[in-house]
Amino acid sequence: MKEYRTHKCCELSEKLIGSEVRVAGFIENIRDHGGVIFVDIRDDSGVLQVVSNDDSIFAGITRESSVTVKGVIRKRDEDDYNERIVTGTIELLVDEFQVLGKALNVLPFEVMTSKEVNEDVRLKYRYLDLRNSKVKNNIIFRSKIINYLRNLMINDDFLEVQTPILTASSPEGARDFIVPSRKFHGKFYALPQAPQQFKQLLMCGGFDKYFQVAPCFRDEDARSDRLYGEFYQLDLEMSFVNEDDVLEVGEKIFYETFKEFAKDKKITPRPFKRLTYKEAMEKYGTDKPDLRNPLEIIDVTKVFEETTFRPFKGVPVKAIVVEEIADKSNSWFNDLVEYANSIGMPGIGYFKVVDGSFVGPIDKFLTDDERDELRECAHLKENSVIFFIADRNNACRYASLIRDELGRKLDLIDKDEYAFCIVNDFPMFEWSEEEERYVFMHNPFSMPQGGMDSLNNKDEVDILAYQYDFVCNGVEMASGAVRNHDLDIMKKVFEIAGYEEEELQRRFKALYEAFKYGAPPHAGMALGIDRMIMLLLDEDSIRETIAFPMTAGGCDLLMNSPSEVDEMQLREDHIKIR
């Protein structure tokens, strides 16, 4: 017989009654029923009840100790069946019980309820937290997702290639993590924010389809849907393709994966709805719209061009119309006003349509012409309510948040649906008030629509890029672009963003040189694996999707990092702390 186990818990059934087996795992629970002691043993497959009439066998045991147990499988009394576990009709009568690793008498928390514990405590004792079946199952689920994605790519003739982790600093939109060089005094490596340049160089090297489950490193603050420091993406690139070719691949990956792992939910069929960036901002106030919410934003700025109502005068005015809610209570509307205040708005204007008239606090400020124009452009119906969002700089953002809140308050969002869309035609540049120059809105390596002609003849704000995002339920799931493969266009694009050619050549030397040798047209994208798993698991925090997350503040409480290093290490790396 094997030293520690012959079976996992899930492999035991009534077919093995009378058989001698050995199992191993952790003690989940101990119950003394007056002369008969029951112990629940948990491994990564399930739980098994073991029993003995000999108290001495279990003497001194503690919960969460690791053990191996030998004995004979027998059937439980029918009154003692446990339908909550696979082995609920059998138990193991103990012949031999051995503690392999003894746990302390007092645990930091109860493993079975660890998800209810303060997150910092969970992360400090993550090895205990991972014994919770829910937490462990998330990590197992992650493994299955990554394996499925890898098989999808290989079956579609993509070649898996690993790109360097130690590389050069690159302006990808976030701060780099830098690594001092021992061998090259005063110089630094950087951890890759993405494998962007390397995958483009693979295309220049004649590879046709590349993919990688890639770790990426960015020194940017965490959010509920963004990890601090590092994350994983399914990175892919293709040669001799256009935007539609890549979008078809992305649609297939998302649709097939969600169909496989979310069988009981509605998934947007292919092809996914496509929205231009301009259309998304106008209708939803964001480039990450949640299409489960049917409400849309309309622009009513022109209606109030001549208004005497000060809050609407000379500023963008957005509106959201909701039908059949005019009979809601005053407290319902007051709650919405309070929400508006909480996000930085001075309030929110609205009126109801009742018996053909406008009823509400701002109606008295409207002229008859404005009322008529609103009826026409907003298609106002009886018992509907129109909400107004006016702000000089943040009208779109506030309107988007109010739309989301209305969706929640009115229960308009189907939680059993994954609503996908594609947002494309992003602006190539945006004006930075802080830097007083045009900067890249997204990826600096994207191909501008219209090529050199657009760069030479259009205003910077009117130049669009072949850039696209996949969005699901209001979360950005993937981002990509048709890449610039023309050196002259590359020079002009970076010139507009304030880079001299010498700096371009220095910072992106590899691409600068590679584009001189017949670079093929190429395009690609990167899918956020952590976010995909978060949505599929219906978790509120992305940290629930990985085995050893940092805190939201960027601390690893388990390994005590970031930590100090000794003086010798600093000297070897030519570092002095100021």
The amino acid sitting at 532 is M
In this prediction, residues 85-98 reach a mean pLDDT of 94
Tell whether 448 and 500 lie within a shared domain. yes
Q: What is the CATH number of the domain that holds 309?
A: 3.30.1360.30
The count of domains in the chain is: 3
Decide if 122 is inside a domain. Answer: no
pLDDT at 502 (0 to 100): 93
pLDDT at 35 (0 to 100): 74
Phi, psi of 91 (to 5 degrees): -150, 170
Tell whether 378 and 430 lie within a shared domain. no
Q: What is the DSSP letter of 78?
A: G
Rounded-to-integer distance, Cα 370 and Cα 303, Å: 6
Candidates 6, 64, 18; CA nearest to 39 is 64
Decide if 120 is inside a domain. Answer: no
Candidates 412, 380, 419; CA nearest to 295 is 412
Tell whether 447 and 382 lie within a shared domain. no
Candidates 375, 379, 225, 222; CA nearest to 290 is 225
- All residues at 6 or more sequence positions from 131 whose CB lies less than 8 Å from its CB, including other chains: 26, 42, 64, 111, 114
pLDDT at 79 (0 to 100): 87
Tell whether 356 and 465 lie within a shared domain. no
Q: Determine contact, residues 115/135, Cβ cutoff 8 Å.
A: yes
Q: How far is CA 107 from CA 64, 103, 112, in A?
A: 9, 8, 12
Phi, psi of 146 (to 5 degrees): -65, -40
- All residues at 6 or more sequence positions from 13 whose CB lies less than 8 Å from its CB, including other chains: 86, 87, 90
- Least confident segment among 171-185, 206-220, 248-262, 519-533: 171-185
Rounded-to-integer distance, Cα 149 and Cα 501, Å: 40
Tell whether 254 and 316 lie within a shared domain. no
Q: What is the CATH number of the domain that holds 533?
A: 3.30.930.10
Token duo for residue 4:
């520690």
pLDDT per residue as tens digits for the range 303-346 = 999 898 889 999 999 999 999 999 999 999 999 999 999 999 98
Three-point CA angle 129, 549, 151, nearest 5°: 100
Pairing of strands 273-276, 229-239: unpaired
Average of per-residue pLDDT values in the chain: 94
pLDDT per residue as tens digits for the range 442-490 = 889 999 999 999 999 999 999 999 999 999 999 999 999 999 999 999 9
Decide if 86 is inside a domain. Answer: yes
Tell whether 161 and 232 lie within a shared domain. yes
Candidates 114, 211, 226, 125; CA nearest to 543 is 226
Tell whether 362 and 408 lie within a shared domain. yes
pLDDT at 356 (0 to 100): 86
Tell whether 266 and 353 lie within a shared domain. no
Decide if 126 is inside a domain. Answer: no
Confidence at 173, pLDDT banded by 50, 70, 90 = low
Q: Choose one of 397, 413, 429: the last residue of a domain.
A: 413
Phi, psi of 510 (to 5 degrees): -60, -50
Confidence at 226, pLDDT banded by 50, 70, 90 = confident
Decide if 574 is inside a domain. Answer: no
Rounded-to-integer distance, Cα 447 and Cα 84, Å: 56
Rounded-to-integer distance, Cα 80 and Cα 39, Å: 14
Three-point CA angle 311, 317, 319, nearest 5°: 115
Confidence at 164, pLDDT banded by 50, 70, 90 = very high
Q: Choose one of 101, 118, 148: the last residue of a domain.
A: 101
Decide if 569 is inside a domain. Answer: no
- Least confident segment among 97-101, 151-155, 168-172: 168-172
Residue position matching structure tokens 């999808």: 152
pLDDT at 91 (0 to 100): 95
Q: Which domain holds residue 96?
A: 9-101
Rounded-to-integer distance, Cα 143 and Cα 124, Å: 23
Rounded-to-integer distance, Cα 305 and Cα 419, Å: 37
Q: Determine contact, residues 48/23, Cβ cutoff 8 Å.
A: yes
Sheet containing strand 357-359, strands side by side: 297-299, 317-322, 385-390, 349-354, 357-359
Could you list the beta-strand ranges (E) of 37-87.
Answer: 37-43, 46-52, 66-75
Tell whether 147 and 189 lie within a shared domain. yes
**Which range is most confident: 53-62, 356-365, 423-432?**
423-432
Preceding peptide of 271 cis, ω within 30°: yes
Buried residues in 230-247 as b, exposed as e (16+ CB within 10 A): ebbbbbbbbbebebeebb
Tell whether 535 and 498 lie within a shared domain. yes
Tell whether 80 and 166 lie within a shared domain. no
pLDDT at 172 (0 to 100): 56
Buried residues in 10-30 as b, exposed as e (16+ CB within 10 A): eebeeebeeeebbbbbbbbee
The amino acid sitting at 338 is E
Decide if 121 is inside a domain. Answer: no
Tell whether 455 and 536 lie within a shared domain. yes
Decide if 554 is inside a domain. Answer: no
Candidates 127, 25, 5, 31; CA nearest to 67 is 25
Token duo for residue 236:
């892919």
pLDDT at 171 (0 to 100): 60
Q: Choose one of 413, 448, 475: the last residue of a domain.
A: 413
pLDDT at 53 (0 to 100): 83
Alpha helices per DSSP H over 390-465: 395-409, 451-457
In this prediction, residues 52-64 reach a mean pLDDT of 89
